[in-house]
């Protein structure tokens, strides 16, 4: 055999051995590290708890992992925990499309000319513009439900609370009942801003009750009421807003500017 042929055989053999060693490299890990990687396979399922993530990113915790499973396990675990932690900081994007209902054509959905598409970003990232949660109260127990969310750290300690009154099978439009709801709210969620919404024919009356008690806001519009009187339909939201402004003036109030509204709700400037 020629020297060139033997050299070629030797190089091929060396290449096969190198490939075999590369494929089996995992089986040469130290026992502690190998067992640690098996545990890591299920780690993401446990890391979806924020409290665990905060602990997991603690340098002392990673030092402990390194001492038990090796530096490679600690580095891998740190990357995985960081990846999951960043998932919590990413925003939720909501894309939506607005249509109008054509009642004269079998209630078909047709494009809405003024505003067709929208996008909303929801995030608890401190670098984004914060949003205030609005809590609609249809029952006394909902106030305590909101308090549980606050205690769990899932909602700001300063939510905007709205008592919805005049809904069938929910809260009736009763002035004394508003006093009870307001007393409970101020007692257990003292940082909340509030208003009350009257549904249907109760809209203006509930608005006056709220203004008499120093509400932080009023609510009006055709989502809740379509009439200005029993026999007359509102021409649009603008007419209902004018009625609300007239009630504000009766109570020596005025509509807030954008800056004033943001300040009242504790929001940063746009």
Q: What is the pLDDT of residue 243?
A: 96
111's enclosing H/E stretch is strand 108-111
Per-residue tokens: 234: 């509102």
Residues sharing a CB contact under 8 Å with residue 1, sequence separation 6 or more, in sequence order: none
Eight-class DSSP state of 130? P
Distance CA 173, CA 185 (A): 18
Rounded to the nearest angstrom, the gap between the alpha carbon of residue 118 and the centroid of all alpha carbons in its chain is 17
Distance CA 84, CA 79 (A): 9
Closest CA to 111 of 102, 103, 99: 99
Q: What is the pLDDT of residue 80?
A: 78
Q: What is the pLDDT of residue 9?
A: 65
Residues sharing a CB contact under 8 Å with residue 141, sequence separation 6 or more, in sequence order: none
138's enclosing H/E stretch is none
| Tokens 């203006």, residue located | 204
Q: What is the pLDDT of residue 36?
A: 40
CATH of domain 130-265: 3.20.20.70
Per-residue tokens: 71: 């530096």
Distance CA 161, CA 145 (A): 12
So where are the chain's domains? Answer: 32-89, 91-128, 130-265
Which stretches of the chain score pLDDT less than 70? 1-57, 84-94, 113-116, 119-131, 268-270
Q: Terminal CA-to-CA distance of the chain, rounded, Å? A: 83
pLDDT in tens, 221-267: 999 999 999 899 999 999 999 999 999 999 999 999 988 988 888 87
Q: What is the pLDDT of residue 38?
A: 43
Sign of CA dihedral 157, 159, 165, 170: negative
Q: Alpha helix locations (H) across 110-236? A: 140-151, 175-188, 203-212
- Alpha-carbon torsion angle 120, 126, 131, 137, nearest 10: 120
Q: Are 196 and 178 in contact (CB under 8 A)?
A: yes
Q: What is the pLDDT of residue 35?
A: 42
């Amino acid at each position: 055999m020629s020297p060139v042929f033997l050299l070629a055989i030797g190089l091929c053999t060396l290449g096969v051995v190198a490939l075999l060693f590369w494929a089996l490299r995992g089986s040469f890990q130290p026992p502690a590290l190998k067992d640690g990687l098996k545990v890591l396979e299920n780690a993401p399922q446990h890391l979806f708890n924020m409290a665990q993530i905060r602990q997991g990113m603690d340098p002392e915790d990673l030092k402990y992992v390194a001492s038990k499973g090796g530096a490679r396990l600690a580095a891998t675990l740190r990357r995985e925990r960081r990846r999951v932690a960043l998932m919590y900081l990413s925003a939720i994007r909501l894309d939506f499309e607005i249509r109008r209902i054509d009642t004269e054509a079998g209630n078909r959905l047709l494009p809405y000319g003024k505003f067709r598409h929208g996008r909303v970003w929801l995030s608890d990232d401190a670098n984004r513009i914060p949003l205030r949660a609005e809590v609609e109260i249809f029952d006394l127990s909902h106030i305590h439900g909101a308090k549980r969310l606050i205690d769990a750290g899932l909602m700001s300690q300063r939510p905007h609370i709205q008592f919805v009154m005049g809904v069938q099978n929910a809260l009736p439009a009763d002035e004394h009942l508003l006093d009870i709801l307001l007393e409970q709210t101020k007692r257990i969620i003292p940082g909340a801003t509030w208003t009350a919404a009257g549904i249907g024919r109760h809209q203006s009356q509930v608005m006056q009750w709220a203004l008499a008690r120093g509400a932080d806001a009023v609510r009006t519009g055709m989502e809740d009421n379509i009439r200005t009187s029993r026999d007359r339909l509102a021409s649009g939201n603008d007419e209902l807003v004018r009625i609300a402004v007239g009630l504000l003036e009766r109570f020596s109030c005025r509509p807030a500017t954008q800056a004033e509204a943001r300040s009242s709700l504790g929001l940063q400037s746009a």
